[in-house]
Structure 1
């Protein structure tokens, strides 16, 4: 007759529950996996499969009951770690979306927006286009696989423990978030420079020939030139996005080390 003690049962629950919570938090907040178009059952199922594969190599777990206050504190920590990792990766996609917003504003397409289920708000068409381009580049460079590898590595860099997380890790995340607008501006800078030159030319033309309706002529010119420039510039944005994703993984490594107090 096989007998199972309560301590053994708690140990098995903890070995699956705590890694599962961290993985599920990442699946809900990370790019690609966390999109609203991905069914919730798929996210939970993928997190469960990864947990079964990774749980034996997680390492020693704290001798804490999952139903105790310390166990709930560990669960909350795993949620924070997973969400922080997902947000660190989402910053690169936020930079691409901000670039689309800036270009759309210069082209006169800022009013062309639609409801985006991923953000739950109205999003400019060009911002959505840049986000789709970033997702395709991310998948092309196997970023989703590298992100899963970083998640597995996080259990060695930041083991499951009842010790509080170091405050310096959140500073790394805030510092990376502060660079989103600058990265988006650098991505959109070629288009913004040309479109700004066209707008200045239209302003000079309006002063020299007031009888010419610049508002009727300037919008089609800006829109046409913007579309032509998009066709030229978009294929050249792949190397920049690759470097942006590489920086995201570097920030992710710094984040884990800082949360661990390193």
Structure 2
């Protein structure tokens, strides 16, 4: 019969428990799985599978007692690192939704909203379209595999240990959150510029022909120009999404390193 001491059993539990907590914290805010449509059982099962796969590949860590003050500190650190990794990825989809809101307002579709069961709120139809398109692009370019690789790399960069907590990681996250507006405007800029040109042309037509009913003519022209420009802009969307996604993964690892350390 195999005899395992309490210290050895505690070490085995710590080997799998702390990676499981970090992965579960990441899944809680992940843009694809951290929503209401993903059952909790799926997230728990996926976190358990990834923890079992990743834990044996990690370098030996110092013994940590689960039920202790040191174990509590390490537990909170793993939660913070997991949330940081998931938050940086969620910014990507938030920027896409903001870009859709900008485009919808310029096209006169600000009232065209859909109920999003994931977030439990009304979201712009164009924003939902860009979010779904971005998700398909990420799966096509193996973005989910890149996330798992970055998650594994986080255990190399930020090993499981009772190290001091630093505030540099929070500054990285705050700075990264500002890219929602810059990236959203960058994506919406072609459509916005085309619609601005169309509105200027409609204004000149109104001055040249005052009898022209601008309301009956302007809306179809604006709508058509917006959809046409959006079609050509989407052709470049995969390049933007891929670059933004890789930058999000690098920022997540940088924030994780900044949260734990001197």
The answer, yes or no, to whether TM exceeds 0.5 is: yes
- 5 Å-filtered alignment, 1:215-254, equals 215-254=215-254
Q: 2:49 matched to 1:49? A: yes
In the TM superposition, residue 40 of structure 1 has moved relative to its aligned partner by: 2.0
CA distance in 2, matches of 1:217, 1:156: 61
Greater Cα shift, 186-195 or 240-249: 240-249
Q: CA RMSD of the aligned region, Å? A: 1.9
Deviations for 1:80-131, whole angstroms, at most 9, x for unmatched residues?
1111101111222222211111111100111111221222221100000000
In structure 1, C-alpha distance between the alignment counterparts of 2:69 and 2:244, rounded to whole Å: 40
Name the counterpart of 2:202.
202
Runs of 4+ off more than 6 Å: none
Instruction: Report the CA distance between 1:35 and its aligned residue.
Output: 3.9
Q: TM-score, normalised by structure 2?
A: 0.92
User: Which residue is 1:103 aligned to?
Assistant: 103
Q: Which moved more, 1:247-256 or 1:96-105?
A: 247-256
Deviation at 1:147, TM superposition (A): 0.7
Matched, 1:21 2:21: yes
Report what 1:212 is aligned to. Answer: 212
Aligned partner of 2:191 in structure 1 is: 191
Aligned pairs, number: 262
Task: Report the Cα distance in structure 2 between the residues aligned to 1:162 and 1:117, rounded to whole angstroms.
Answer: 39
Q: Secondary structure at the match of 1:114?
A: strand
Which sits farther off after the overlay, 99-108 or 25-34?
25-34
Deviation at 1:245, TM superposition (A): 1.6
Q: Equivalences for 1:3-152 in 2 at 5 Å?
A: 3-152=3-152
Gap runs ≥5 in structure 2? none
CA distance in 1, matches of 2:125, 2:152: 36
CA positional deviation for 1:234: 1.2
Q: Output the TM-score relative to the length of structure 1.
A: 0.92
The unaligned stretches of length 5 or more in structure 1 are none
What is the rounded CA distance, in whole Å, between the counterparts of 1:192 and 1:135 in structure 2?
23
SS of equivalent to 2:131: helix
Partner Cα distance (1:114, 1:68) in 2: 48
- Separation in 2 of the partners of 1:246 and 1:8? 39
1:175 is aligned to 175
Shift of 1:8: 2.2
Which stretch of the first structure deviates more once superposed, 178-187 or 4-13? Answer: 4-13
Deviation at 1:71, TM superposition (A): 1.7
Q: In terms of mean alpha carbon deviation, does 225-234 or 148-157 score higher?
A: 225-234
Cα deviation per residue 1:144-187 (whole Å; 9 max; x = unaligned)?
10110110111110011222332111111111111221111111
